[in-house]
Structure 1
């Protein structure tokens, strides 16, 4: 009734990404990220120092500076400010892509600290360039449909597995694949992680990796295979100061080389952002990519000032987010704080460095493989009946694994090309992007599918030949419950293109008799209801409402949505229908819903039809995307549906 009052506002749980966990959990989860990240974080300065002839004292300073700057960069990326930072649980680390170019730059400048100063000059300029080109690069997001992002994510996971395997057999400096102890530590750590995930729930399951690393290290220490002697030898405080090695030197050739590195790294960052978005159930747009790349650029510039190197999102920790299912970005921010402290306290870094390589490798096997699984899930939305997509995925994954398995193949190409052939992730990502452009954006379009799933593609010519029953069966999911509106659209055949098909559904909805419209409205489920969260109202309703987090409400939120639904039904006799995908937050949905109680029945009838049309529009876009993700991505970029 009109006098129905809104119940008192109560605290609402934010999206899991934005949830601030208790301090104790932040510390534990953050430390888990640091342990998973540490070996990868310090390997770049170790490789660089050895190659250009730096002393042990200079190497220690590089490691401290690296960790300190990693912490700052991770906080910038996860917490964010202004238009900087993607605000997802993405941890920042020095990119491996830059290792070979930096070594070449350093040696060309004479090696030692002289070479280091030229490297830092190039790093600072490349970071600034990345910051300013970020919004322009993000506009290329239309060239990253599921066939590309899925391939890149899969490649990232697969290319990281050899890194984990190398650690599992003793590490890069002294691998011993025939040592049974190394195998026992790696498999034992992996077994502990799997057992905890299977036996426990809640907090214990989310710290499975941390527990596995701690137990594995303790066992290795007890058997004499882990040593912490470096802790006593390390100092308590080690502060990195700006331009510690001297003022940077600027070389045009070095700067160009480093900008190329950052452009390639931008592709990897884009893949990591999409992977994390999939894991935490947040849609990624071009502005998110721009924010992430600005954070990369700013962190890289800071790295050049604080004696560190180019930064990117670390794929290693993407797998940890998936494995633990802890989605809060503030966990990564906590990891950033811990890394800053470790960077300031060399003794703390020495403790973490004492983790044996096989133990770390066993945990990494589980984490990196989960990244590949995310890629497989993304590729599940691709139409592999279209042979072009098979070629894109097969070629990019094949080349990526080729250079991953045979890294020395990079020496067979000119030095300028080694930056590409030196990394499976880089070569595979570029291949996927280029082939997608060649097959789907260059030349004449050979007619994309307009509906269906990867297993049952339907094209426009077939739609025009369908019987009424086949048409309703194919497109009935656009509307909840009833196929009468879809049947009315069938009478408007033939359809000249996809836009005409979409218009037919809209016209059939608004021209239907009022009684038919009312019956259709009655089929739509309540917002935030248990039946939607449990999947009982169909996958389309679940997908619709999950866009604003209505499938994972707290008990308090669920009660408030239920109260609104009951009041609305009592007032108008129909469920409250809202196109959730167009609504920004749960709070806005609730606020608008209570305000709509003051409208007239006639106004709410019209409003419900409009919302149903919006919902159907999104579901139609889903059908087009499932049938041909590339064509729909291209069409969205031009503001229209695929023809």
Structure 2
């Protein structure tokens, strides 16, 4: 985990960069994390949200992703946030339980479970070393596999064009969706470096372009979306705290926490640093605090995006000011409903191919 030449983190990520450099570098991180924006679209579509609510859910994710980055990189007081240059995006690990809870109990219970589990994770962060011993890889792998199998029918419905759609089960849907699936799987298996980390984004982009040529994209939601809005707390109603839903979400949030734990090793290996245990705990606690904020603002749990560490390595820009710039950009974009509507315009068969992968 640590190299012989490892150095303490302090000062390594303090480089000052001019705004002319920060803007393109921050935007590069934003484009790399576009794949995580598809998470709220998959959730909202599976639950059955209308176009307006779906676009609002995407805006909420943009807003809370920006807030999560700022909490992690800038920190709150002395005990929350690692102050390392991490980029935070939607967690794919919690995708399954969010869909199941949303479909069975409704949106208020879904966001109540995210808030409740976030509070539990904050409390557990004080006993993190003992907690991780209860979740070896065989346990976390079993949970994720079971949830993946449970979600398979939803993915196949999306691949076919979405249940109830006019072109449900058409050859075009299957062809486009399978192309997306093939691109993601092949790039993830055989791709190297940047191409591998961008596999989901590349698959979505190619699939959307093909769908556009085939006339499968509905631009009406983009045209109907307003030019400005403010993301507000409890948009979908007052949170409902159901114990079963909170327990289910907590299990998967702990698994997400373990994945986040590994990100510190990656950043140490990449930049030759040595992150202290206290910094790791502060970072994971910051992730949990951001999750509580996410639940209040109708959003999803977040995770450290390891692909963005790769982006930093490739660009050579490791200043913490870069992800801060990305966070501010995300918050600004959350005020633009047309941008969120453009993300929801990605055809369901394209999303189904990505979800199946």
TM-score by length of 1: 0.40
Match of 1:69 in 2: 64
> Residues 254 and 279 (structure 1 numbering): CA distance in 2 closer, same or farther, change over 3 Å?
same
Is the CA contact 2:55–2:344 (under 8 Å) kept in the aligned structure 1?
no
Paired with 2:174 and 2:125, the residues of 1 have a C-alpha distance of: 35
Q: 1:178 Cα shift?
A: 9.8
1:135 is aligned to 2:126: yes
1:267 is aligned to 2:266: no
> Residues 312 and 173 (structure 1 numbering): CA distance in 2 closer, same or farther, change over 3 Å?
farther
Paired with 2:119 and 2:180, the residues of 1 have a C-alpha distance of: 47
Paired with 1:171 and 1:291, the residues of 2 have a C-alpha distance of: 45
Paired with 1:173 and 1:260, the residues of 2 have a C-alpha distance of: 36
Encode CA deviations 1:94-115: one digit per residue, 9 max, x unaligned.
Answer: 2111111122222332xxxxx1
Paired with 2:268 and 2:296, the residues of 1 have a C-alpha distance of: 31
Is the CA contact 1:89–1:321 (under 8 Å) kept in the aligned structure 2?
no
Is the CA contact 1:130–1:296 (under 8 Å) kept in the aligned structure 2?
no
> Residues 61 and 137 (structure 1 numbering): CA distance in 2 closer, same or farther, change over 3 Å?
same
Paired with 1:124 and 1:19, the residues of 2 have a C-alpha distance of: 35
Match of 2:17 in 1: 21
Match of 1:290 in 2: 281
Q: 3-state DSSP class of the match of 2:86? A: coil
- Once the two structures are superposed, the pairs formed by residues 129-528 of structure 1 within 5 Å of their partners are 129-138=120-129, 174-177=176-179, 229=219, 232-349=223-340
Match of 2:45 among 30, 43, 50: 50
Paired with 1:177 and 1:280, the residues of 2 have a C-alpha distance of: 36
Paired with 2:174 and 2:82, the residues of 1 have a C-alpha distance of: 33
- Once the two structures are superposed, the pairs formed by residues 105-144 of structure 1 within 5 Å of their partners are 105-109=101-105, 115-138=106-129
Q: 1:327 Cα shift?
A: 1.1
Encode CA deviations 1:314-351: one digit per residue, 9 max, x unaligned.
Answer: 22322222322321122111101000011111234456
Aligned length: 290
Paired with 2:254 and 2:23, the residues of 1 have a C-alpha distance of: 34
Q: 1:354 Cα shift?
A: 8.5
> Residues 75 and 244 (structure 1 numbering): CA distance in 2 closer, same or farther, change over 3 Å?
same
Q: Report the aligned-residue RMSD.
A: 4.0
Is the CA contact 2:75–2:82 (under 8 Å) kept in the aligned structure 1?
yes
Encode CA deviations 1:237-277: one digit per residue, 9 max, x unaligned.
Answer: 12121111110111111111111112111110000122112
Q: 1:231 Cα shift?
A: 5.2
Paired with 2:341 and 2:81, the residues of 1 have a C-alpha distance of: 30
Is the CA contact 1:74–1:91 (under 8 Å) kept in the aligned structure 2?
yes
Q: 3-state DSSP class of the match of 2:176? A: coil
1:38 is aligned to 2:34: yes
Q: 1:72 Cα shift?
A: 0.4
| Bigger relative contact order (CA 8 A; separation at least 6) | 2
Paired with 1:323 and 1:292, the residues of 2 have a C-alpha distance of: 24
Paired with 1:134 and 1:303, the residues of 2 have a C-alpha distance of: 18
Q: 3-state DSSP class of the match of 1:326? A: coil
Paired with 1:248 and 1:80, the residues of 2 have a C-alpha distance of: 26
Is the CA contact 1:30–1:332 (under 8 Å) kept in the aligned structure 2?
yes
Encode CA deviations 1:347-378: one digit per residue, 9 max, x unaligned.
Answer: 3445678999xxxxxxxxxxxxxxxxxxxxxx
Q: 1:140 Cα shift?
A: 6.8
Is the CA contact 1:79–1:330 (under 8 Å) kept in the aligned structure 2?
no
Is the CA contact 1:128–1:298 (under 8 Å) kept in the aligned structure 2?
yes
Q: 3-state DSSP class of the match of 1:102? A: helix
> Residues 46 and 85 (structure 1 numbering): CA distance in 2 closer, same or farther, change over 3 Å?
same
TM-score by length of 2: 0.69
Paired with 1:263 and 1:283, the residues of 2 have a C-alpha distance of: 24
> Residues 337 and 138 (structure 1 numbering): CA distance in 2 closer, same or farther, change over 3 Å?
farther
> Residues 239 and 55 (structure 1 numbering): CA distance in 2 closer, same or farther, change over 3 Å?
same
Match of 2:86 among 87, 90, 114: 90
Encode CA deviations 1:221-248: one digit per residue, 9 max, x unaligned.
Answer: 9x96998956544321121211111101
Structure index of larger Rg? 1
Match of 2:97 in 1: 101
Paired with 1:253 and 1:173, the residues of 2 have a C-alpha distance of: 39
Structure 1's unaligned 5+ residue stretches are: 1-13, 110-114, 153-165, 195-208, 357-403, 408-643
Encode CA deviations 1:155-206: one digit per residue, 9 max, x unaligned.
Answer: xxxxxxxxxxx9xxx99993243999x89xx9xxx99x89xxxxxxxxxxxx
Q: 3-state DSSP class of the match of 2:179? A: coil
Structure 2's unaligned 5+ residue stretches are: 1-9, 142-158, 160-171, 348-354
